[in-house]
A and B are shown apart, each in its own frame.
Chain A
Amino acid sequence: MIRILARYSILFILTLLVLTILSFALAYLFPGDVLENLTGITPQNDMQREALMRQYRLDQNVVVQFVHYLGDLASGDWGYSFSSGLSLREEIGIAMPATIELSFYAILMALLIGIPLGYYAGIRSYSVSDKSINALSVTTYSIPVYWFALILILIFSLNLDIAPISGRISLLFDIPPVSGFILIDIMMTENIDKGLAMRDAFSHLALPTFAVGAITTASVVRLIRRSVIDVKNRPYITAARSRGLSGWRIFSQHVIRNALLPILPLMAIQITTLITNAMIVETLFSWPGIGNWLIQAIYQRDYPALRVGMLAVSTLVISLTILIDLFNRIIDPSREKYERATV
């Protein structure tokens, strides 16, 4: 147990180190001036330039520069955006929770709908209902997410006019960002009609969540179905059946838990796809999340923002992945380290 924990913390630190090295290298790789890419400040004259060079240790060798960069990252000095001139740390602090919120609801939807459907299809494998669930999930899985989001906007926002087209909440509500999560912020704000604000926030959330969630749900259904069918063919299920256990008992005592185990590491892979999808959907719904922010940054060639944004997003995704992997190792020590299930 302690060995596993130690191993994973070393892995985590090593990966973070690789990522920070990458992000530091980006300042050199991006077009333009290294000092401007690193700080986001355009020096007005030579004197200011030299002062900044000294402050960021750019006059010394690369190792010293990198160590100083690490210190800056740790102390919260992430540089300034080219386009807005604001501190990047504050901008990411607002954008990141919006993405996490959207992804969280999408995952929730995928788990709540995908797991029961997947179990049902797996138990009734090769029946008509299984085949229709499978067909539906392959179809949903194949829809390009940006087109799906466009169709949702067309149907629900433009034709039926029941959902707003963009943003997180109507501008009529003045909600100061405290935690960054809109629903929590509404609860904490005084002097507004909380019920109305909540309803408004939910109607803004519905379409983007559905666009991201539907595709995640489809892959969860496929994974669970496959895993249940694999478990059903195991000898211990035959043994249980020969002992005369009822179908329900076999399902509840032997199938449910054993089918979930091989799926966990695959869920970790799904997070990557999920975040990519969320980032694309954010641009279509003008959701003020990190994906929208990064894509605006690339359109405006805002290099400091890209450098830190890349570090922030990849750190988030990788910490989640490593956590899931670690959790999986702890609850399932019997498995080989590199073993993973297939779809």
Chain B
Amino acid sequence: MPQFSLYEEAFHPSPWHRTWAAFRESHIAIIGLFVLGMFVVFSVFAPVLSPYDPNAQNIDGLLIPPSWAMSGSISNLFGTDALGRDLFSRIMYGCRITLGSGLLMVVLAMLIGVSIGTLAGMLKGVRSSIVNHLLDALMAIPTLLIAIIIVAILGTGLVNSMWAITLALIPQFIHHTRRFVRSEAKKEYILASRLDGANKWQLFVHSILPNMTEMLVVQGTLALSIAVIDISALGFLNLGAQSSLPELGAILADGLDVAYLAPWNVALPGITIFVLVLSINVVGDGLRSALRKRMSQ
């Protein structure tokens, strides 16, 4: 037995464990995570869980009110739309498309953004100045404008609007990666590896990237909430997913035609988008404050 033990505790939590412990302390964040998890389950298992085909039209059951209304029936939980399609199934598939495409866009934007951001962060002198400033200025172009231009060139469609939003998301990642790489490159542990003879690539992969993952997760949740809002906004404006595709914004735009007769066709998809974005934001906020708590310990 050594005379005194350097580590009193038998269990040494890893950084991720400590973040999770701090995250767990906030009840709201846990509720948000639970709701988000529910949305993920709905999206992944939509074909199994949904009671009807989202595009199956039922002429005998047009505009049935939701089940909690007086004249509603339990066979259509959220009622039906103007073509007799089951709203609950449509919304479930809508989460699948909206959340799924959102995740896809964020991952793609992250990959591109981190690569360019790292390059920009490691460049020095005039070149970096021009790259950085131009990127800064160009990231100011509004998403909707990029989407309009891309739709004008390539035509409407979910995939084309996804390209537009991915393009709009990339600059945020570039910005944060560049800043992180710059501030990290000044630290001693990077200097130590450099003195050991590590080249730039090794520095990035073995030293900077592991430290960057947390920042990327937090930025990712932020970007995801923006992506979900934007893709549904484009669907709503008829520039993204077309109305045959059950995308939450497109479902809402469909319901707008019968908003007087059947207000639930506008209310329910809207609430779904709202709760989805809210849960993403709550989880993101929880993660950020958990990280902050861990760093300040």
Contacts and interface: CB of A to CB of B under 8 A. Distances in A.
B166 interface: no
Interface string B257-294: 00100010010001001100110111001001000000
Interface string A27-68: 001110000000000000000000000000000000000000
Given A147-B252, A268-B140, A275-B142, A138 B281 contact: yes
A319 B86 CA distance: 48
Interface in A15-35: 15, 18, 26, 29-31
B297 to A, nearest CB: 14
The listed residue with most B CB atoms (<10 A of its CB), out of A30, A279, A322, A325, is A279
A190 interface: no
A294 B145 contact: yes
B277 A144 contact: yes
B278 A314 contact: no
A313 B136 CA distance: 17
Interface string B213-249: 0000000001001000100110011110000000001
B179 A314 contact: no
Chain B interface mostly:
helix
A298 B146 CA distance: 12
Given A144-B274, A298-B151, A339-B179, A321 B145 contact: no
Nearest to A271: B140
Contacts of A310: 145, 148-149
A255 B28 CA distance: 29
Interface string A93-131: 000000000000000000000000000000000000000
Given A147-B270, A272-B140, A313-B142, A138 B237 contact: no
Contacts of B143: 272, 276
A15 B152 contact: no
A18 B138 contact: yes
B182 interface: yes
A81 to B, nearest CB: 14
Nearest to A138: B281
B182 A338 contact: yes
B200 interface: no
B225 to A, nearest CB: 7
Contacts of B152: 26, 30, 298, 301, 303, 306
A73 interface: no
A117 B134 CA distance: 35
A275 to B, nearest CB: 5
A14 interface: yes
A335 interface: no
Interface in A320-343: 321-322, 325, 338-340, 342-343
B227 to A, nearest CB: 12
B205 interface: no
Nearest to B137: A15
A147 B273 contact: yes
A342 to B, nearest CB: 8
B273 A313 contact: no
Interface string A258-292: 00000000001101110110011001000000010
B141 interface: yes
Contact of B142 (A26, A138, A279): A279
B237 A283 contact: yes
A256 interface: no
Contacts of B207: none
Contact of B278 (A138, A145, A272, A299): A138
A325 B282 CA distance: 30
A139 B277 CA distance: 9
Contacts of A306: 148-149, 152
A11 B175 contact: no
B250 to A, nearest CB: 12
Contacts of A175: none
The listed residue with most B CB atoms (<10 A of its CB), out of A144, A280, A295, A338, is A144
A251 interface: no
A333 B136 CA distance: 19
Nearest to A301: B152
A30 B153 contact: yes
Nearest to B172: A269
Contacts of B233: 144-146, 280
A313 B142 CA distance: 9
Nearest to B275: A142
Contacts of B55: none
A119 B233 CA distance: 32
Contacts of B222: 343
B231 to A, nearest CB: 11
A139 B280 CA distance: 11
Given A150-B259, A298-B148, A325-B136, 10 more contacts: A30-B152, A142-B281, A280-B144, A283-B237, A291-B144, A294-B148, A303-B152, A314-B140, A338-B182, A340-B179
Nearest 9 A/B pairs, CB to CB:
A147-B270, A142-B278, A15-B137, A142-B277, A276-B142, A321-B140, A276-B144, A11-B133, A314-B141
24 contacts: A11-B137, A31-B153, A135-B28, A138-B278, A138-B282, A139-B278, A142-B274, A144-B249, A144-B277, A146-B249, A147-B252, A147-B270, A147-B274, A269-B140, A279-B145, A280-B233, A295-B148, A295-B237, A298-B239, A301-B152, A306-B152, A318-B137, A322-B137, A338-B182
